[in-house]
Structure 1
């Protein structure tokens, strides 16, 4: 018997029929992510024993309640008749669900985890040549024979960023725990309207230049086999990293580093070292959720992630503070006017072939605000572990910085790093990283 055995694949629909003739257009921030997809896995250790399939049956019922609030998730992609842009036709085509069993307990699984093994818990199918017959969202429920459960969600990045994907799991948990009530219903609204009497040429085009470069200079897809390592940094470890990466002579609040800025500097310098960079760091793309920057509620569903470039010229692996300052400076430029400049430029550009946004540079993604551990399906049972992947992994590498379980403190973080296999092994043994003594949650075979 395989470690994971597929029992069945089915389609689930909502308890309420979808309003016929409803269409949801996609934004330019949606469309630019067409070539990527998101996968996430939530692990649970439930306290009581149940019959095989009992949990799956319960979740199958509650997901139908949840889907009533997410018509986009059940819809299908098609092109608009006027400009040929992607849009979603809301219908009752439903969500694809895979049901599976796995050997052992969830704790045993987590003690011996690697990338290939984990991805068996989150089903994904590439878009078919007939998109209208293809499901953009998949869920997989895997019950462990010895106890525990994994919930995998995968979707095209065209329709959802990691924050929105987590929103689906959280809403599903709400309907399972409390009936039909969803604490934060999704908001399906367009991006903020373009500004009157203003154009993107009025500001410094930092974001525009980065996207323009990605569109005009497509990169060949790397054929290296990638591996993912996952490290847990406690609150004390993160504070130590912030202190080490601290900007000299910084006294005011504006110059203090965030956990993301300190950890991204750490892994930027260490990754550049294992790649053999001398006299500079590898160029990096910083990825932020801009809902807050745009003044939007966290419940806005879709894509609000934006990329910006951090140049590695003039820096080296031993200059952690300078690397952190460079990151902080770039993050500060990802403010409202800059993001609106980018949105307006993309609207005018009408890019026919979207770029592969995670294939151009080393990518560092800020997922600190993703509320993973509030997805509680039963009283007092939070996820014991959560993983995310932004696929495909084809470029120099990717660093995801996530919240840790709440027991680790407000500054605790989980860092998932995906690199070519030989580089991942070197990074795992890096002397400076080991100095912080993080817990290895996922290593190498």
Structure 2
């Protein structure tokens, strides 16, 4: 057990259900892209500084706005079911609830945020549960409230990606914060439209039938999971590490000529190519936010994915040239991915993150929009579990994203890679060629 895990103790578990009964026959069907993401999990930790407001929030103050919140987002309280005769799984909105965890930390918030073991610091503050093996009983969402010594709180938010993408997950918890803060306008938001209110839902929800399996598009890879545990198999231990890259450091890399996301992606791709020393052509997948959700699609998985294939190692391509190529490669492969699923009659098990080296643009995700009665997080850690061995790079907002002129000052980059690659990546980034601390 790590020192971080030892510092977080006193776990207490409970559940919260919607304020109004949804009814066990109500079904939330899963689209093709939802099932593409079924083996991935979003993990976020929001850190709130000590204050009279934050420290004065009792657990019932935190739970009370969840009842109307789950009236709007009622699939979060449901459970996965499988349709009859090989159909696709779906969410039965049976109001089993989301799981709440209460814990305490023996360190102060400042000690926690400045600890040397930053790589995996956040993990003990958010549940790492996955769906299965008993899908009927597996919660889709967990929220952990951890109180720090001498004040302050961390909110750990675990979200099954099958529910929706990072925008859906973030908008959802931000809405809970608005309800906590007493904003009545949030209750006028449109409800998700139930797809079925009838009986025998296992008979009604079926997968599209087609001519049979087809080769997977480049962004994804088909895998075989173990029984009903929705987690991809991996032979290598994956780990995380967070880097902070300033605007000054980006400018030194010719970052003024291309946007920050593309320059950062090129930088990490080139560094990883040096570490991996591969001779074969390289693939990378770029994920960007999709089109805004329609009123009845507040839960959705929408991405614009594009795959770049190099004729040689990224280490041999100029950094600016590589960044420019990423910038120009902005086609949407989502249609091809969903068309693949339409041609399969069974339940698909695919990877997106880590099928190829994957770069995810989360700069437009409002990570710092979670507000507790006027208090915003001083820092947010964000990662993805279920990433394949090729790894994923998330380019996020940082606490001080803009100055008075609106210019970005810093970017936070969370890498999810095989554990043995992270020390080498740190050395390459800090070399004279790049100068990233």
CA distance in 2, matches of 1:306, 1:217: 25
CA distance in 1, matches of 2:336, 2:236: 36
CA distance in 1, matches of 2:327, 2:112: 37
CA distance in 2, matches of 1:437, 1:187: 49
What SS class does the counterpart of residue 40 from structure 1 fall into? strand
- The offset of 1:60, in angstroms, is 1.8
Please give the root-mean-square deviation of Cα atoms over the aligned residues, in Å. 3.2
- The offset of 1:437, in angstroms, is 5.8
1:348 is aligned to: 343
1:63 is aligned to: 66
1:443 is aligned to: none
Distance 1:190 1:359, change over 3 A: farther
2:373 is aligned to: 378
Any conservation in 2 of the 1:27–1:190 contact (CA below 8 Å)?
no
What SS class does the counterpart of residue 8 from structure 1 fall into? strand
CA distance in 2, matches of 1:59, 1:50: 10
1:261 and 2:262 equivalent? yes
1:227 and 2:239 equivalent? yes
Structure 2: tracts of 5 or more residues without a match:
196-214, 226-231
Matches within 5 A, 1:135-146: 135-146=139-150
Any conservation in 2 of the 1:285–1:364 contact (CA below 8 Å)?
yes
* CA deviation profile, 1:307-330 (whole Å, cap 9, x unmatched): 432223235425112211331232
- The offset of 1:6, in angstroms, is 3.3
CA distance in 2, matches of 1:110, 1:216: 37
- The offset of 1:369, in angstroms, is 1.5
Distance 1:24 1:40, change over 3 A: same
- The offset of 1:47, in angstroms, is 2.3
Distance 1:224 1:342, change over 3 A: closer
Any conservation in 1 of the 2:289–2:304 contact (CA below 8 Å)?
yes
- The offset of 1:15, in angstroms, is 2.3
Any conservation in 2 of the 1:65–1:180 contact (CA below 8 Å)?
no
CA distance in 2, matches of 1:184, 1:393: 37
- The offset of 1:286, in angstroms, is 1.6
1:194 is aligned to: none
Any conservation in 1 of the 2:79–2:139 contact (CA below 8 Å)?
yes
TM-score (norm 2): 0.81
1:305 is aligned to: 303
Any conservation in 1 of the 2:65–2:180 contact (CA below 8 Å)?
yes
Distance 1:268 1:144, change over 3 A: same
2:396 is aligned to: 402
1:363 and 2:344 equivalent? no
Structure 1: tracts of 5 or more residues without a match:
192-206, 247-256, 440-445
Aligned length: 402
What SS class does the counterpart of residue 67 from structure 2 fall into? helix
- The offset of 1:430, in angstroms, is 2.2
Distance 1:393 1:28, change over 3 A: closer
1:78 and 2:81 equivalent? yes
Any conservation in 1 of the 2:288–2:303 contact (CA below 8 Å)?
yes
CA distance in 2, matches of 1:50, 1:166: 20
TM-score (norm 1): 0.80
Matches within 5 A, 1:167-246: 167-182=171-186, 185=189, 188=192, 209-211=217-219, 214-215=221-222, 221-243=233-255, 246=257
- The offset of 1:234, in angstroms, is 3.0
1:428 is aligned to: 426
